[in-house]
Amino acid sequence: MEIAVLGTGTVGRTLAAAFSALGHGVVLGTRDPGATAGRAGPGPMGGTPFREWQAGHAGIGLETFAEAAGRSALVVNATNGAGSLAALAAAGAAALEGKVLVDVANPLDFSHGMPPLLDPVNADSLGEQIQRAFPGAKVVKTLNTMNAGIMVDPGRLANADHSVFLSGDDAAAKETVSGLLRELGHRDIIDLGDITTARGAEMVLPLWLRLFGALGTPNFNFKIVRGGQGAP
Amino acid sequence: MEIAVLGTGTVGRTLAAAFSALGHGVVLGTRDPGATAGRAGPGPMGGTPFREWQAGHAGIGLETFAEAAGRSALVVNATNGAGSLAALAAAGAAALEGKVLVDVANPLDFSHGMPPLLDPVNADSLGEQIQRAFPGAKVVKTLNTMNAGIMVDPGRLANADHSVFLSGDDAAAKETVSGLLRELGHRDIIDLGDITTARGAEMVLPLWLRLFGALGTPNFNFKIVRGGQGAP
């Protein structure tokens, strides 16, 4: 499948490399490809300089948001949550029309210090905002509840015995995304329901962030433990 | 230990019965004991009429919020979240002074229909509101992330292989509460940190509610799956 991953941070790079390794055609989307490609210094989060990362992933193209989204059947929003709507507007409604749009971003607001707040929250979600802004796209919220390394290699943790959530209005789009998740190794894919259920998946982030602090590692995930048949 | 459980709904009754069965002295607190004891019809959630429940639990007293809290070393807030501050105000600051106050309530707001919203959320929590309102109490937020049946009998689900969270400012109070949780059978007790971490534990409720809908049963819980030593 031709996949556009919008966003060149840790999550975007990690997803792009994983989909490419699985044999998909992958292109990264960014606001200004020349500026991104020229980055020789570490990013704001201290990761590998983009130029260095790109040298090790020659099969992954780098284009504008609009070019990347326009050529691809499936688009992944891996931009930071505060900039997601602007990034998708730059991609343009035409490039997203009829596409499966996988939203993995979290709407974290760092402007009030740490830990970040969520905005929007409770009666709305970034997933819903994106769906409203691009009614022609088939938005599926997923993967936002775990570290990027676990997103693409769930088996690194407890033999993949943990859970990932799906929210979206289009059943076929959720089936397409489920297939990709299974390719990555996810075994427990829970369909929460329509796109409004993205609120729940996004609102789990404050707990995720505090667990990160308490456990001292991002190498954990949520598992939904269920009772068996006939359990009370 | 002398334990007061404030609130006579499903959560309060379930916790009171479990603590009593463990050999603790337990009293239920309610606004108007005469009115509660006289209830012969089903409650708003359709549970067993209180009078019938009480007949099967003769060892558990029923007193006013103030009487129940005043006589007990440990107080559990199992009132509904929207009424918790009023219930604790009725108990009174004097009755809560120096006490461990276990807050298991969720601040669900049903006034806008289903699913309920959380209020407060994000930059505050019910746990923090209670701690601010009663600075002499040692508030520990816990157990709010699971069904009442699992709270008191975690082994009924996956041999108790799932997680419970603690939030609070007082280390000794959290140790006391951890001991009670272990008595109930909880094996994975995660101390999230100070009382502000209750925001994360409370904000998980929208996901819990959607999982309840998706799975069709409340018989599930969150497990925090961690990597082992040397995991990436």
Domain locations in chain A as residue ranges: 2-215
pLDDT of amino acid B231: 42
Ramachandran angles phi, psi of B229, nearest 5°:
-55, 135
Query: How much of chain A, in percent, has pLDDT values that exceed 70?
Result: 97
Nearest to A26 by CA among A52, A54, A61: A61
Average pLDDT, chain B: 95
How far is B123 from B120, CA to CA, in rounded Å? 8
Nearest to A14 by CA among A178, A165, A149: A149
CB contact under 8 A, A200 and B207: yes
Q: Which of B31-35, B36-40, B167-171 has the lowest mean pLDDT?
A: B36-40
| Contacting residues of B for A122, CB less than 8 Å apart | 117-119, 121-122, 206
CB contact under 8 A, B112 and A123: yes
CB contact under 8 A, A207 and B214: no
| Contacting residues of B for A190, CB less than 8 Å apart | 211, 214-215
Distance of CA B55 to the CA centre of its chain: 23
ipTM exceeding 0.90, yes/no = yes
CB contact under 8 A, A156 and B231: yes
pLDDT of amino acid B126: 97
Residue among A156, A213, A222 whose CB faces B224 most closely: A222
Residue among B162, B193, B231 whose CB faces A219 most closely: B231
How far is B211 from A85, CA to CA, in rounded Å? 27
CB contact under 8 A, B225 and A190: no
Average pLDDT, chain A: 95
Residue among B117, B157, B220 whose CB faces A122 most closely: B117
- Fold designation for A2-215: Rossmann fold (3.40.50)
Contacts of B160 (CB under 8 A, 6+ apart): B154, B185, B186, B187, B188
CB contact under 8 A, B193 and A201: no
Tens-place pLDDT, residues B14-35: 999 999 999 999 999 999 999 9
Question: Is residue B45 pLDDT above 90, yes or no?
Answer: no
| The residue type at B187 | R
Report the pLDDT averaged over residues A143-159. Answer: 97
How far is A148 from A170, CA to CA, in rounded Å? 25
Nearest to B87 by CA among B28, B160, B143: B28
Report the pLDDT averaged over residues A134-144. Answer: 98
pLDDT of amino acid A86: 97
CB contact under 8 A, A232 and B221: no
C-alpha pair distances (Å), A30 with each of A50, A59, A74, A79, A92: 12, 16, 16, 9, 13
Dihedral of alpha carbons B141, B147, B151, B154, sign:
negative
What is the CA angle A38-A39-A43, rounded to 5?
Answer: 165
CA distance B208 to chain A (A): 8
CB contact under 8 A, B204 and A209: no
- Tokens matching residue B86: 């009023």
Question: Is residue B230 pLDDT above 50, yes or no?
Answer: no
pLDDT of amino acid A40: 85
Nearest Cα residue in chain A from B218: A226
pLDDT of amino acid A232: 41
Q: What is the 3-state secondary structure (H, E, C) of A96-128?
A: HCCCEEEECCCCEEHHHCCCCEECCCCCCCHHH
Nearest to A211 by CA among A193, A228, A226, A223: A223
Question: Is residue B228 pLDDT above 90, yes or no?
Answer: no
Tens-place pLDDT, residues B60-114: 999 999 999 999 999 999 999 999 999 999 999 999 999 999 999 999 999 999 9
Residue among A210, A220, A227 whose CB faces B227 most closely: A220
Question: Does A232 or A59 have the greater pLDDT score?
Answer: A59
Largest Cα span, chain B: 60
Report the pLDDT averaged over residues A175-186. Answer: 98
pLDDT of amino acid B41: 83
| Contacting residues of A for B219, CB less than 8 Å apart | 226-227, 231-232
**How crowded is residue B232: how many other Cβ atoms within 10 Å of its Cβ?**
10
- Tokens matching residue A170: 């289009």
Report the pLDDT averaged over residues A88-94. Answer: 98
| The residue type at A170 | D
